[in-house]
Structure 1
Amino acid sequence: MRRTIFMGSLLLALAPTVMAAQVYKWVDAQGVTHFGAQPPEGTKASAVNTNTAPPKSNFPLPPPKPVATPPVDEKQKAVDDKVKQDVAQQEAARAQNCSQARENVAQLKNNPRVRVKEENGEYRRITEEERQARIVENEKAVQENCN
């Protein structure tokens, strides 16, 4: 009896690997139950249903845990807002510097007669060497500030 149960269990356990193969069950002349893919000739055999349903769980699933939102720290929020504001101001200043440097380069390259205001309020023309130095200086500012 144990052997029959063992063989039946073994065949049922291997049934998913066979998948499409039909399994038959029959009892021989000595009263021993057999399982196989083909029944012997002259023996009455019955087909075994190898499709099994997934086991049903008697335990209900727990409800999903709510996602806890972290508490809002007003001090940290104020610091974050301040940092974001500072970054935005720095970005605006960088864009302004970029624009001004590009404009300076264009004016210095297109106009060889550039005048600058002195500390005493008087205007003077810059020399060609000063103009070239300012062009290099402003081109460097464009490279640093403009991406």
Structure 2
Amino acid sequence: MVLKWMSLILLALLPVLAHASMYMWVDADGNTHFGDQPPANASSRKVKVNAPEVSNDVSAQERQQRMRDFLSEQQKDREARQVDQAKAAEQEAKKANFCTKMRAQLKNMARLSTFYDLDENGERVYVTEEENEQLRKDFRDKVKQACG
């Protein structure tokens, strides 16, 4: 059983070990061992290890293609998320700029004593105090709704 596990480990490490020197020896209990250094207390022999040939069977190629397709989709999704994040950041910046201007207008409205409209002749027609208050309230509500 130990030999079986050692063989499996050796097979798994073959590509890595292909360029290294390998040694094989049998210990006092009769167990076979492999290593990259010869043991000091036992006789060993150098073993040539050939890396297995790469399998290019159809199923391996299909797995590779599926992996490439998966990675390509992941990249596309990542790029789409980045585009969406950039758009969201741009919209947030526009909203912040808009709100800054709206709040500045709101402060300016507080400084004005009264508002007016222009009639058909282009002359000023001042609104009543109640209409002044309603205009200020409506604009405050608009700012609050748009900007929080």
Structure that is richer in helix per residue: 2
TM value normalised by structure 1: 0.39
Please tell me whether Structure 1 or Structure 2 has the larger radius of gyration of its CA atoms. 1
TM value normalised by structure 2: 0.39
